[in-house]
Every structure is written in C-alpha cells, then in structure tokens.
C-alpha cells in the first residue's frame, strides 16, 4: 500500500507520523506491504525534520526516517492508496489541490482511531502530545490495514 503523509511543511507532524508508522511496520515485519512518502502543502521545498521532532523520536527509540518532501501535486492523486493529513487546515489544502476525493483516499490521521471527528494532531510545540496522537493514529491505521 502506498501512503502519503501530508502537513504544511513536513518538518514535524508528518515527519513524525512517517517515522512512527515505518517503525511500527518494521516491528510487525510488514515492510514489504508499504511505501511511505511525505509531501507538503505550503513550502514546495525540502526542509530537515524539526529538531524537537528528532529529539522526541530519539527519546522514544524511533529512528527518524530520512525524507525529502516536496509540494503535493494534483496529478499524483492516483499514485496513492491513502493520503493522510494532520488537521483541518491540511484538509482544506488537500481539497484545494485534489478537489473531490472521489475514491475516499484522503483521511485525517486520527480518523483511524475512535476519537471524535474534530480532533486533530495539533501543531502546538507540545511534542509529547504530538507523539501521543501520532502513535495512536499510526497504531490504529496499521491495525486496520
């Protein structure tokens, strides 16, 4: 399955999600089943992972996936099985780029959990909370896939 993780600049939340999901997949011995990629909505240029994201992932023993993000493009909608975003602003950006999600590929990371529909992985600088939300979403997504 091909999974695209998306947020504004791909330096914190989506980088964390890709790294966490990749490690969960590795631990489950399911690496051959998944291709994981990052794209951003706003920047269109590559940025390294935020140092706070890297520090949190190291703290919990999750390797940071090397990434090279670029801005998501309308033409690549068909390339992905799942396009996973972090918050409502990301959803608006994806609608602007892709238009109607006719195939139902686009989901908020926490949609995979049993949390209410208005809960998002927030960009607040609280990396403990971000990690908690990302881990919950990635764990639920892997279980369902």
State the catalytic residues.
7, 13, 123
Task: Give the end-to-end CA distance of the chain in Å, rounded to a whole number.
Answer: 9
The CA distance from 11 to 5, in Å, is 11
The CA distance from 96 to 117, in Å, is 20
Cα–Cα–Cα angle for 77, 117, 137, nearest 5°? 65
Nearest to 21 by CA among 7, 9, 35, 10: 35
């Amino acid at each position: 399955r091909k999974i695209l993780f998306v947020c504004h600049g791909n330096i914190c939340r989506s980088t964390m999600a890709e790294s966490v999901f990749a490690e969960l997949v590795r631990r489950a011995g399911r690496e051959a089943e998944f291709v994981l990629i990052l794209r951003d909505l706003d920047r269109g240029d590559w940025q390294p992972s935020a140092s706070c994201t890297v520090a949190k992932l190291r703290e919990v023993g999750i390797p940071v996936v090397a990434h090279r993000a670029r801005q998501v493009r309308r033409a690549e909608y068909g390339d992905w099985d799942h396009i996973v975003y972090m918050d409502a602003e990301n959803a608006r950006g994806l609608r602007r780029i892709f238009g109607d999600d006719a195939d139902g590929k686009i989901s908020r990371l926490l949609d995979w959990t049993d949390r209410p529909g208005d809960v998002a992985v927030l960009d607040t600088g609280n990396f403990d909370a971000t990690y908690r939300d990302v881990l919950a979403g990635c764990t639920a997504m892997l279980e369902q896939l």
